[in-house]
């Protein structure tokens, strides 16, 4: 029999009733307010009053705990990721490089892999299957994609879904439950002091030789070194201030009539998609550094050589103000800089290493010199002490020094203490136990 209604419930109160038309039981729960200002009422139904009562109570608990999905647009993973990229994390909210990493993960991996799922239906298993698929994809650099690429996709979807949870578009983040691939830490072996000296001597035979002295002695990041301008240096006072980082150029076609070139960077009328530089990676990255006298001499010599290049280039010279430039004054491209680093290693007869390993080497030299950790953090531009453990490496020389100290403590012959005898004679050894 249909329940007789005795009046309306107060505003915001949940209601349970039996329909007079179909005989089913229904419940309505107010969980919030819609974007238009009207109450957001959610509906549940069941075969009897007890079932509907349980559903109403569950919905009320979810509302009170903040786990009810927000009313409005039914997002797909693709539509949410695009909205997140274009409206939430677009620069200047984050750095250009961080945005580029997110953009690649979204465009290349996440949208093609899971973009069709409804956002509130995405499961951890969907993500784990995607990670395995990414790692099985062939690449130009090797047979399969590295775990680091899959992990970047994981970090990206996790960050995007965290925002969706905070905005109540979903009630939980499945990326927090998904197991990401394990990324093996790269075992970096910094160059020894003698090897650094060899690299610096070899660099003197190349153009922009001071570039590598800055990397190996000061530990500047590639972008920081290439972003240096002469106004950042005071060679008389012997100081340098890191203010900006050179970005890798990105281009698009600017031709009205197709030029026939595949890549925008090869277009005769190419248009830049990003600025030349950006602020430093973090607040700690903006820092002042003292310059060794020898490095001051190299930079003065470099300034003189650049002045000669300016004369030779004549009208072709671009007065950009950068310390390290092309022969016509343009800022160096990070890709060309990487190639020159590899050529330097080959000319010096050194083992292959990443350009960023020069930064590890500089940090380890500071460790060898016994520079206090807080001072090292200021020089390297680190914002936390965890970076010191990551960049400073215990070299063979340090290990040998520790071994000698341990050996001297445990095996060095000790002087036998002596006491006076009963008759007052001195120098009687204490019997061994």
Q: What angle do CA 249, 251, 253 make, to 5 degrees?
A: 165
Q: Which residue has the higher pLDDT, 219 or 341?
A: 341
- Split at pLDDT 50, 70, 90, the class of 59 is confident
pLDDT in tens, 220-271: 889 999 999 999 999 999 999 999 989 888 888 988 888 988 888 888 888 8
3-state secondary structure of 245: strand
- How many CB atoms sit inside 10 A of residue 408's CB? 9
Token couple for 231: 């106004």
Q: Which residue has the higher pLDDT, 408 or 101?
A: 101
Residue 417: is its pLDDT beyond 60? no
- The confidence score (pLDDT) of residue 422 equals 52
Q: Active site includes 359?
A: yes
**pTM, to two decimals:** 0.67
Portion of the chain with pLDDT greater than 90, in percent: 40
Write down the catalytic residue from 121, 132, 179, 252.
252
SS3 content of the chain, % helix, strand, coil (to 5): 45, 10, 40
CA distance 53 to 279: 57
Q: Active site includes 28?
A: no
CA distance 16 to 44: 9
Token couple for 54: 């349980």
Distances (CA, A) of 93 to 74, 89, 100, 162, 195: 26, 5, 13, 16, 41
Residue 72: is its pLDDT beyond 90? no
Q: What angle do CA 130, 132, 135 make, to 5 degrees?
A: 110
Average pLDDT, the chain: 83
- The confidence score (pLDDT) of residue 137 equals 81
- The confidence score (pLDDT) of residue 408 equals 67
- The confidence score (pLDDT) of residue 394 equals 56
Nearest partner of 25 among 51, 6, 58, judged by Cα: 51
Q: What angle do CA 396, 402, 406 make, to 5 degrees?
A: 140
Q: Active site includes 338?
A: no
- Split at pLDDT 50, 70, 90, the class of 321 is very high
Q: Active site includes 261?
A: no
- How many CB atoms sit inside 10 A of residue 343's CB? 11
Over residues 165-177, the mean pLDDT reads 91
Element (H, E) at 164: helix 147-166
- The confidence score (pLDDT) of residue 156 equals 97
Residue 140: is its pLDDT beyond 70? no
* Residue count (the chain): 433
Q: Which residue has the higher pLDDT, 295 or 375?
A: 295
- The confidence score (pLDDT) of residue 2 equals 45
Write down the catalytic residue from 154, 221, 246, 253.
221
CA distance 155 to 341: 31
Q: Active site includes 252?
A: yes
**Residue 148 near residue 95 (C-beta atoms within 8 A):** no
**Residue 249 near residue 265 (C-beta atoms within 8 A):** yes
Residue 366: is its pLDDT beyond 80? no
Write down the catalytic residue from 102, 191, 341, 391.
391
Token couple for 324: 């390290």
The 3-state secondary structure of 105-173 reads: HHHHHHHHHHCCCEHHHCCHHHHHHHHHHHHCCCCCCCCCCCHHHHHHHHHHHHHHHHHHHHCCCCCCC
Q: Active site includes 391?
A: yes
Write down the catalytic residue from 67, 168, 356, 393.
356
Write down the catalytic residue from 55, 69, 359, 360.
359
For 9, phi and psi rounded to 5 degrees?
-70, 155
pLDDT in tens, 19-46: 888 888 999 988 877 767 788 888 888 8
Q: 340: Cβ–Cβ under 8 A, 6 or more apart, which residues?
A: 206, 208, 211
**Residue 187 near residue 329 (C-beta atoms within 8 A):** no
Residue 406: is its pLDDT beyond 90? no
């Amino acid at each position: 029999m249909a329940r007789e209604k005795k009046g309306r419930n107060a505003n915001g109160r949940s209601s349970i009733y039996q329909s007079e038309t179909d005989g089913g039981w229904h419940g309505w729960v107010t969980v919030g307010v819609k974007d238009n200002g009207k109450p957001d009422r959610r509906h549940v139904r069941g075969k009897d009053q007890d079932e509907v009562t349980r559903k109403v109570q569950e919905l009320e608990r979810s509302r009170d705990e903040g786990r009810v999905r927000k009313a409005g647009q039914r997002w797909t993973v693709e539509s949410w990721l695009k909205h997140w990229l274009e409206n939430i994390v677009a620069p200047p909210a984050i750095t250009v490089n961080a945005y580029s990493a997110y953009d690649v993960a979204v465009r290349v991996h996440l949208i093609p892999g899971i973009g069709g799922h409804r956002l509130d239906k995405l499961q951890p298993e969907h993500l784990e299957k995607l990670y395995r698929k990414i790692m099985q994809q062939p690449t130009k650099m090797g047979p399969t994609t590295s775990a680091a690429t899959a992990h970047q996709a994981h970090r990206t979807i996790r960050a995007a879904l965290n925002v969706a949870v905070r905005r109540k578009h979903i009630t939980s983040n499945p990326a927090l439950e998904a197991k990401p691939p394990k990324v093996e830490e790269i075992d970096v072996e910094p160059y020894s002091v003698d090897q650094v000296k060899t690299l610096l001597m070899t660099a003197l035979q190349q153009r922009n030789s001071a570039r590598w002295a800055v990397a190996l002695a000061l530990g500047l990041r590639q972008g920081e070194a290439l972003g240096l301008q002469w106004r950042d240096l005071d060679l008389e006072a012997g100081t340098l201030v890191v203010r900006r980082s050179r970005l890798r150029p990105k281009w698009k076609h600017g031709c009205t009539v197709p030029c026939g070139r595949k890549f925008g960077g090869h277009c005769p009328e190419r248009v830049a998609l990003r600025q030349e530089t950006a602020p430093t990676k973090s607040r700690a990255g903006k820092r002042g550094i003292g310059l060794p006298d020898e490095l001051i001499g190299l930079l003065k010599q470099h300034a003189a050589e650049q002045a000669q290049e300016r004369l030779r280039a004549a009208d072709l010279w671009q007065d950009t103000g950068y310390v390290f430039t092309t022969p016509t004054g343009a800022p160096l491209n990070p890709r060309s800089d990487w190639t020159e680093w590899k050529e330097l290693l080959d000319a010096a007869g050194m083992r292959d290493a990443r350009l960023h390993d020069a930064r590890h080497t500089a940090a380890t030299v500071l460790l060898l010199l016994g520079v206090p950790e807080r001072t090292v953090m200021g020089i390297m531009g680190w914002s936390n002490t965890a970076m010191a453990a990551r960049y400073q490496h215990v070299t063979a020389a340090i290990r040998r020094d520790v071994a000698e100290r341990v050996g001297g403590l445990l095996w060095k012959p000790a002087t036998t203490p002596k006491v006076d005898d009963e008759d007052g004679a001195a120098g009687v050894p204490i019997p061994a136990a």
